[in-house]
């Protein structure tokens, strides 16, 4: 039975010439699991919000959206509020209570249920999601993964028929992300809830989806099953950057001329490689990595906490980052990675240990002199925007750095062209997509011309193409002498970007190594390409690595 029908839907925001959505049409059957994919800024978030009347943006709309056969704008507001659930990208945006149980009960209280029924429902959903152990906890004590799972549970407890999710794992570590997807699959398969999820992490979702909707520049390119979608993309978009947005198994298959069914999952891909390729050549050659002798950032036995009576967040951190290199820090939500960046940037004071920036003690930087050397991109990039347009915020840097008109214009043009954000300068920062806001925030930092960049989740909300673009930009910045430290949950991005990768656990750095050694020795914090190829190749951590080794072993095809 059809639950959702979108017919000839177009939408444009006020004072915007281009359509954000352009003639979108598709239908979804009850119980479907649909993955909404596409390059950042393609309109995924806007489309999802158009399916939820309470979140539908203001602007010019053409076309129709029907829910269970009724125009979505004619449905009772209370009914649509509860029957159409929405989980946002940033878990903190959606939370309204201070306790876990209160958050679970909030929607049911608004439905007017009695206390007995509310208690029954929230206890049941807590058991379903495995959150009983922190049922009475303060929400402020939860990790990002726990908050996002709580958001999903808080929506599920109201028994929606349709669940919409906008990049729900963007801020989650790989293990928390897998747990979240497992819970989502159970909701779909066991409770029959129809799910539409906008997501860039496709390796786990693509194989289990009923339909893939692929968007580009506001238009819908296809709405098909995963296997059909993969075939269409290979045949019709072989030279498009969209290829890089596919799951690793599909990317590898598309690059190899093998007469076989396209693998979708990791297990399918392992069989595909085993059947079609030998491994006479198991490793790719790697030059020995050599660091600079100059240290850009050094933390030595650093301890820090937010309040005197609270446990330590940093528990003896030791780290050396050398000039001109890029180090990616990985680890679970709540491990202390962001706290480490704040401490290194002087925003949080350590109570023990030593920190040096550019060979100089942090305490020796007076006034604002530290920020002539270091710049920090926070986890929520909207925090650094204060004005009505992106351009006005960039002009703020001109005043703080005392650039003259020509200096600023030349630098602004260079940075905006490098990040491809010139078309966004007239927009309000809060009207930008998650990926766009990351790039304009980075632009604001680059205008400061720092020697050390500290970046907290800079690729959150970015698709594979944008990540590759940003990786290339970071490599250019390194060549100009900039040192970069990145906290990220994105193992695929770290694999193509970092000179060294470090694991942060228990409030400290527990290991650090070059990417091909770091990821090859991990089981969970590793790339999909490594996971599907490690039984046949030794140090392949990217799709390009696997493809190269397959081609080198082509003569030994089984």
Q: Summarize pLDDT for 262-318 with one digit per residue, the tens.
A: 898 899 999 999 999 999 999 999 888 888 889 999 999 999 998 888 889 999 999
Query: 73-88 as b/e, with b when 16 or more CB fall inside 10 Å?
Result: eebeeeebbbbbbbbb
CA dihedral 463, 464, 467, 469 (to 10 degrees): -110
Confidence label for 558 from pLDDT (cuts 50, 70 and 90): low
Whether pLDDT at 121 is above 70: yes
Residue 309 in domain: no
Can you give the pLDDT at residue 86? 94
Residue 389 in domain: yes
**What CA–CA distance (Å, rounded) separates 545 from 286?**
11
Whether pLDDT at 115 is above 80: yes
If you average pLDDT over residues 247-264, what whole number do you get? 88
- Residue 22 and residue 92 in one domain: yes
**What CA–CA distance (Å, rounded) separates 531 from 523?**
8
**What CA–CA distance (Å, rounded) separates 294 from 303?**
24
> Which neighbouring-strand residues pair with 454?
376, 485
Q: Answer with the one of 208, 242, 276 that is the final residue of a domain.
A: 242
Domain that holds residue 46: 2-242
Enter the tokens of residue 379: 């986890």
Confidence label for 474 from pLDDT (cuts 50, 70 and 90): very high
Can you give the pLDDT at residue 231? 83
Confidence label for 201 from pLDDT (cuts 50, 70 and 90): confident
Confidence label for 99 from pLDDT (cuts 50, 70 and 90): very high
Whether pLDDT at 220 is above 90: yes
Type and span of the H or E element at 486 = strand 483-487
- Residue 489 and residue 539 in one domain: no
Residue 359 in domain: no
Can you give the pLDDT at residue 129? 87
**What CA–CA distance (Å, rounded) separates 198 from 48?**
8
- Residue 35 and residue 107 in one domain: yes
Whether pLDDT at 556 is above 60: no
Q: What are phi and psi of 280, to 5 degrees?
A: -60, -35
Can you give the pLDDT at residue 354? 95
Q: Is the model more confident about 446 or about 79? A: 446
- Residue 468 and residue 419 in one domain: yes
Enter the tokens of residue 367: 């006034």
**What CA–CA distance (Å, rounded) separates 454 from 134?**
33
> Which residues fall within 8 angstroms of residue 180, CB to CB, at 6 or more apart?
145, 148, 149, 152, 168, 169, 172
- Residue 22 and residue 167 in one domain: yes
pLDDT digits (tens, 9 = 90+) for 510-535: 999 999 999 998 988 999 999 999 99
What is the layout of strands, in order, in the sheet containing 295-304? 314-322, 295-304, 352-357, 360-361
If you average pLDDT over residues 147-169, what whole number do you get? 92
Whether pLDDT at 89 is above 90: no
- Residue 197 and residue 273 in one domain: no
Output the CA–CA distances (angstroms, integers) from residue 341 to 274, 319, 438, 477, 487, in the order listed: 43, 12, 17, 19, 8
- Residue 338 and residue 411 in one domain: yes
76: domain CATH number is 3.40.50.300
- Residue 390 and residue 419 in one domain: yes
Type and span of the H or E element at 122 = helix 115-129
Instruction: Using the structure block, give the residue that is written with the tokens 């020796």.
Output: 364
Residue 517 in domain: yes
Whole-number percent of the chain with pLDDT over 70: 99
On average, the pLDDT of the chain sits at 90
Query: How much helix, strand and coil, in percent to the nearest 5, is found in the chain?
Result: 45, 20, 35
Residue 357 in domain: no
Of 256, 258, 234, whose CA–CA distance to 246 is shortest?
A: 234
Confidence label for 111 from pLDDT (cuts 50, 70 and 90): confident
Residue 152 in domain: yes
- Residue 97 and residue 218 in one domain: yes
Whether pLDDT at 434 is above 80: no
CA gyration radius, the chain? 24
- Residue 540 and residue 499 in one domain: no
Residue 354 in domain: no
If you average pLDDT over residues 39-66, what whole number do you get? 90
Whole-number percent of the chain with pLDDT over 90: 60
- Residue 178 and residue 283 in one domain: no
Q: What are phi and psi of 81, to 5 degrees?
A: -60, -35
Contact 256, 551 (CB under 8 A): yes
Q: Answer with the one of 217, 242, 267 that is the final residue of a domain.
A: 242
**What CA–CA distance (Å, rounded) separates 461 from 337?**
19
Confidence label for 130 from pLDDT (cuts 50, 70 and 90): confident
pLDDT digits (tens, 9 = 90+) for 354-405: 999 999 999 899 878 898 899 999 888 888 898 999 999 999 998 888 899 9
What is the layout of strands, in order, in the sheet containing 33-38? 84-87, 162-166, 194-198, 33-38, 211-216, 219-224
Residue 140 in domain: yes
Is 39 strand, coil or helix?
coil
The sign of the torsion formed by the CA atoms of 441, 447, 450, 452 equals: positive
- Residue 254 and residue 105 in one domain: no
Looking at the 3D structure of the chain, how many domains does it have?
A: 3
The sign of the torsion formed by the CA atoms of 366, 401, 469, 225 equals: positive
């Amino acid at each position: 039975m059809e639950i959702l029908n979108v017919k000839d839907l177009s939408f444009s925001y006020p004072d915007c010439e281009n359509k954000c959505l352009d003639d979108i049409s598709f239908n979804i059957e009850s119980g479907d699991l649909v993955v909404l994919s596409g390059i950042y800024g393609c309109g995924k978030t806007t489309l999802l919000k158009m399916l939820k009347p309470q979140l539908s943006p203001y602007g010019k709309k053409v076309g129709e959206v029907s829910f269970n056969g009724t125009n979505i704008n004619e449905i009772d507001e209370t009914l649509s509020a509860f029957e159409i659930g929405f989980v946002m990208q940033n878990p903190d945006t959606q939370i309204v209570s201070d306790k876990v149980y209160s958050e679970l009960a909030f929607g049911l209280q608004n439905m007017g249920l009695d206390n007995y029924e509310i208690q029954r429902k929230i206890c049941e959903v807590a058991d379903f999601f495995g959150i009983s152990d922190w049922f009475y906890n303060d929400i402020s004590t939860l990790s990002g993964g726990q908050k996002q799972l709580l958001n999903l549970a808080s929506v599920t407890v109201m028994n929606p028929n349709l669940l919409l999710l906008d990049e729900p794992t963007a801020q989650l570590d790989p293990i928390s992300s897998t747990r979240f997807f497992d819970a989502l699959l159970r909701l779909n398969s066991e409770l029959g809830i129809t799910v539409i999820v906008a997501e860039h992490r496709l390796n786990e979702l693509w194989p289990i989806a009923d339909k893939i909707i692929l968007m580009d520049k506001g238009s819908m390119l296809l709405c098909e099953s995963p296997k059909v979608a993969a075939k269409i993309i290979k045949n019709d978009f072989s030279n498009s950057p969209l290829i890089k947005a596919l799951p690793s198994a599909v990317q590898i298959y598309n690059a190899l001329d093998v007469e076989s069914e396209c693998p979708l999952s990791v297990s399918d891909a392992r069989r595909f490689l085993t059947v079609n390729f030998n491994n006479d050549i198991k490793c790719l050659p790697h030059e020995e990595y050599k660091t600079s002798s100059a240290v850009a950032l050094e933390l030595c036995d650093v301890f820090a906490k937010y309040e005197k009576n609270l446990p330590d967040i940093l528990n003896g951190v030791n780290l050396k980052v050398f000039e001109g290199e890029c180090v990616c820090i990985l680890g679970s939500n709540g491990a202390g990675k962001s706290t480490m960046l704040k401490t290194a940037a002087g925003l949080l004071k350590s109570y023990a240990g030593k920190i040096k920036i550019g060979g100089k003690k942090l305490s020796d930087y007076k006034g604002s002199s530290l920020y002539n050397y270091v710049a920090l991109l926070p986890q929520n990039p909207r925090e650094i925007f204060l004005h009505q347009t992106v351009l006005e915020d960039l002009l703020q840097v001109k005043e703080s750095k005392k650039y003259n008109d020509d200096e600023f214009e030349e630098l602004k043009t260079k940075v905006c062209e490098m990040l491809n954000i010139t078309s966004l300068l007239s927009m309000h920062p809060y009207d930008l997509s998650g990926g766009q806001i990351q790039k304009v925030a980075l632009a604001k930092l680059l205008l400061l011309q720092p020697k050390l960049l500290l970046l907290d989740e800079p690729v959150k909300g970015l698709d594979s193409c944008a990540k590759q673009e940003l990786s290339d930009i970071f490599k250019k910045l390194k060549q100009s002498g900039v040192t970069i430290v990145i906290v990220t949950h994105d193992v695929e991005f770290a694999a193509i970007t970092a000179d060294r990768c470090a694991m942060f656990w228990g409030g400290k750095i527990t290991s650090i190594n070059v990417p091909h050694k770091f990821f090859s020795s991990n089981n969970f914090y590793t790339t999909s390409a490594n996971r599907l190829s490690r039984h046949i190749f030794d140090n392949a951590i990217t799709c390009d690595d696997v493809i190269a080794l397959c081609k080198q072993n082509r003569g030994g095809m089984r």
